[in-house]
Amino acid sequence: MPEIQLNIPAIGEGLQEARVVALLKQPGDFIARDEAIYQMETDKAVMDVESSVSGRVVRWLASADDVLSIGAPILVVDTADEVSSESAAPVESSESIAEVPASDGIVSLRIPAIGEGLQEARLVAILKNVGDAVKRDDAVYQIETDKAVMDVECPYEGEVVEWLAAVDDVLPIGAEVARFRTNDQVAGSAPAAAQASSQRIAPQTSPAVQASGSRRRDVPPRTLAYAKEKGLTNEQIELIPSAGSKLMPADIDAYLAGGSKASTTPSRGKNFSEVAMGGKQRVLASRLQRSNQIVVPGMMSIVVDWGKIEELREETKANGGEFQPSAFTYLAYAVAKAAAAHPIMRSTLVGDSTIRTYDHLQLGIAVALPGDELVVAVVRDSDTLGWVEFATSTRARINEAREGKDQADESVTLSITNMAGHGIREAMAVVVPPGVATIFLGEAYNGLSNEVAGEFKVMRCANVGITIDHRIINGVGGAEFLNAIRDNVANIRELCS
């Protein structure tokens, strides 16, 4: 099997060097295409760098904390993938990779890899015309990914010879976008950006790679981001029909709504019938599948004094008026206020080692729809709201969810599922990433209070459980949060006053 060399990628922002932060694989480890293999730090950010090939790590050519120039070799991989000289440099001696002038001074400018697993970018603007003089680090064009719009700077001094793409073209990472004349010394016949771009993909000139790992090219970055936000997998995106030449968010919405009428018509077999899964259930299934792959769940529960909530609820009903919050809304408020003092419940895991904590809690509430479909209502900044504002917002968001509007996004870190009306006292809720915990509320029942040692009395009880993602929350953290909820329920009158 051939040994190939992977290089520090160019990220298209005029950066000249990067620091190796961490090596994520060891010699002998197997790596899959698109798997993170190391982390690097620039003056912009720390990012994972993913492999363009599958294979086995042979040796590292650098160590953690080394500062390397863009395009410098960092890793040798033994791979069975077919790669050309453009996609990954073969292992050579230091003399063979010395800088030499490019043929006729003409080099290619290519869509840069930015180290975040992106596959394509849209050309937003061309900033230089053919024949224009360009200085090193001048912005020459703009691209849009599903992350941002950014200027791409030129690593050479010279002039634009030819543009090979037009504004609004969606191009794969590494695609040639312009031809450029320069007198600068260039490593080989292609610029560092072109060599480094192979860190992400094999070039389109390799039929073997195309056959084994091709992706549709009519998906603009914003549409891809929209589809991911809705919980769709790459495999699902491949199957979505487009109404025009490009897949648009409206096509995603149509797919999630159930597609064409024919797609919801049952078909008969010999002794069975089949019907396409509804769009909302497809989204939920995708989220749950991802949860099963990455979450390490832990579950615990506690008994709360539900009588406190029932007493306050009955008083509100007796007073009349339009403001009639449900017993569940009181519990949800107790959860939101507890999260204000427990920032880990407002956090999520980014990658494998970064904890992102949001300033406020975006509280998710599971809402059942007819046909056993499930969507999520979201109470925004719920930990900052007063009682009346919280209850009003909760009702409005749940009503929107009942109309089919799924409000979940990546900022929802904590959710509540309510099974009190279905006779279920205890269950293990599912954590759906990027969420880190899910609260379960069971039905109210008559139990025994042991508030005073040796004395027992009947008390209205409800079980409140929590499932945590053990990668970020440990048992004590989950228990302390549950105790805070119990205390809030016990003092619900004061909390809502």
Question: Which residue, of 172, 188, 213, is where some domain finishes?
Answer: 213
- Of 196, 213, 230, which residue constitutes the final position of a domain? 213
What CATH number is given to the structural domain containing 323? Answer: 3.30.559.10
Q: Is residue 180 part of a domain?
A: yes
**What distance in Å separates the CA atoms of residue 234 and residue 50, rounded to the nearest whole number?**
17
**Residues 465 and 351 reside in one and the same domain:** yes
Residues 414, 491 within the same domain: yes
Residue that finishes a domain, picked among 176, 193, 213? 213
Whether the CB-CB separation of 226 and 252 falls below 8 Å is answered with yes
pLDDT of residue 482: 97
Domain count, the chain: 3
Residues sharing a CB contact under 8 Å with residue 145, sequence separation 6 or more, in sequence order:
114, 116, 118, 120, 121, 122, 221
Residues 32 and 77 in one domain: yes
pLDDT in tens, 419-478: 998 999 999 999 988 899 999 999 999 998 877 677 778 999 999 999 999 999 999 999
Q: Which residues of the chain have pLDDT under 70?
A: 1, 11-15, 43-46, 80-104, 114-118, 146-148, 184-217, 221, 229, 231, 233-235, 257-265, 276-284, 286-287, 289-291, 452
Q: Domain check: are 157 and 187 in the same one?
A: yes
Q: Is residue 258 part of a domain?
A: yes
pLDDT reported for residue 231 = 67
Q: In terms of residue numbers, what domain contains 12?
A: 3-213
Do residues 204 and 238 share a domain? no
Q: Same structural domain for residues 237 and 372? A: no
CB 101 within 8 A of CB 125: no
Q: Are residues 172 and 305 in the same domain?
A: no
Q: What's residue 283's pLDDT?
A: 64
* pTM above threshold 0.95: no
Same domain, 340 and 478: yes
Among 15, 82, 7, CA closest to 38: 7
169 is a domain residue: yes
- Is 309 part of any domain? yes
Residue 284 included in any domain: no
Q: Do both 42 and 117 map to the same domain?
A: yes
What pLDDT score was predicted for residue 194? 34
Any idea what the CATH number is for the domain that residue 139 is in? 2.40.50.100
Residue 440 lies in a domain: yes
* 117 and 230 in a common domain: no
Per-residue model confidence as pLDDT tens digits over 164-199: 998 878 888 888 899 989 886 554 333 333 333 333
Look at residue 289 and tell me if it is in a domain: no
Cα distances from 169 to residues 60, 217, 225, 410, in angstroms, run: 37, 10, 17, 28
Q: Is residue 290 part of a domain?
A: no
Residue with tokens 């000139």: 205
Same domain, 198 and 317: no
Look at residue 29 in the predicted model and tell me its pLDDT. Answer: 84
Task: Clarify whether residues 205 and 305 are in a common domain.
Answer: no
Residue 397: the pLDDT is 95
